[in-house]
Structure 1
Amino acid sequence: MTGAVILGVGGSLPARVVTNDDLSARLDTSDEWIRTRTGIRTRRWVEPGTSTSDLAVDAGARALRSAELSTVDAVIVATTTPGRRCPAVGPEVASRLGMIGVPAHDVSAVCTGFLYGLANAVGLIASGAARTVLLIAAETFSTILDPADRGTAVIFGDGAGAVVVGAGEPGGIGPCVLGSDGTGADLIQIPAGEDYFRMHGTEVFRQAVKRMSDVALDALARTGLGPDDVDHLVPHQANQRISDGVARRMGLPESKVLGNVATVGNTAAASIPVLLAEAAADGRIKLGDRVLTVAFGGGLTWGAGTLVWPDVTADFGILGER
């Protein structure tokens, strides 16, 4: 069976930085309360008029430039905040990247969206339907947050990350192990007829630590690896306490856990590729490193997979700045 590898990686963040003090000025909270419960100091939010597709196009263009490609055989966009209920944002993003006629679709799995999209991309390549796929995860969660809900308003940020996945020798991208449990659908949701995102934080925390650590160990086992073989754990950046809990449950030392939740917040589906792009750009991830990715999100959904980091130059930056 044809394997899949990462050919390029890109990431894009909005320019606007929102601090804990900015939020404390209008919410019953404080910098200390936010930091001790989430690990977040700042997050980035889009300015009015900036859309999810704007971030997706920028991250996608950066990933294509990283891969030294101008087009691909398929485009996948993972998002919970597409801007329109219909149609999907994928075709718009593909056309804005100059790929009119290329098949494009969305994936909706909330914070697990990137890994669900990665499984789709690998499947297209394994089946022979595509040789190259641009996978983008992009979110503007600031547009669906209740400004009076300190339980969610302090956590989420906006951003986009992208990878170009291509056919290659087996082993670059390991099996993507996915799962879901619809009985917990009300824990993370936008209720019908409402505009704002709702989350039951305490139960989500408990479920996230267990589901993420279990599925991460499953993904390692299916690859014939154990925790000691991992160079870097790249968890969905939900909350620093969740990342710490997953690492402890897996027996991984803090030194192997990568994160950026302190500076960008929880960027939902975009959090893993944004972190991959940032860590590759600043040298934390290097050629040949074995990376374990894992996420948990609404649905409920969860997933994990391994990567052997390729010889790529990441393109990571601020929207509108090249």
Structure 2
Amino acid sequence: MCDFLSHFLSAILALLGHAPETIQPGRIVRFSTNGRRGDKAGWCLLFEDLRGGVFGCYRQGISSVWTAIDRKRMTPAERAELQHRVQAARAEREAEQRQRWAANAQRNAAIWAQCAVLGADDPATRYLQHRLKADLWPLPACLRFHSALPYWHEGQELGRFPALVAPLVSPTGEVLALHRTYLSADGRKANVPAVKKLTGTAGPLAGAAIRLYEPEAGVQGVAEGIETALAAQLASGVATVSAYSALGMKSYVWSPDVRRLVVFADPGEAGQRAAQVLKARAASALVRCDVLTPSTASADWCDVWAARGGAELDRVAESITDAFEPAHQEGGGA
């Protein structure tokens, strides 16, 4: 068993970069694929006879089949049996995941019902004003305020804090998760291990975004974080959404009426790669896509706007001067 188990774990680690600590043959095991204790995006099932198994990651939308022997050497009967087991495992995994998604959707709906529209002087609004160094009002309607949101860390509630809450929405309009930024009463970042957290998801996150601003005249801006997206909109005038992360940037799905994307990329390697993936996808759909990156390696667009970097903002303005005119002449869609 040890040899089969070690080979199975090695296959999981090679594809996902993470693997579970323990495996019980015949049972689906959930595990973290981002190094965070509460994450359960990874899954695997080692068949009871130890001769095969399946595994994958819900977040990344990938799955794979492992066998103890080369499938090319299997008899037709063995291949048919393997296919039957894989299909049965897939059905079991999908049923288990649907239950998790449904439970998460209920929890997220309960949190959202407790949130209020942002007020001119609540901690969430003050936090955004601190970050953007601007009196941005009104703020996007999708941003909400929770006065006392529980903060959980490694199975323990560390307290209740004010929070900025925003929905991560699928391309078809379903709320898939809630993005939470935990704050202090005066609108600063809360003293917690991770200020920003995502709730459990109610479906695949591929293509989702926090829809801060709808596209205008066929032009849509895309950034990773909420603050970066708001800063990009202030600096450029381009209606911008938050894709939440580099992975979200890669899979972002624009609406059918978009004719041009303006990507406000983060300067790091992951942000740059994600922006180029999105640009390539847009090009294949005949949608014009421009990628803008701050010239300072350590700064994102929120930093640029907060510092009012004149030359940098002039460059942004010049780069999107024609954003609205040619948009009607270029075809394409998601």
Bin for the TM-score computed over the shorter chain: under 0.3
User: TM-score, length-normalised on structure 2?
Assistant: 0.25
Structure (1 or 2) with the larger CA radius of gyration? 2
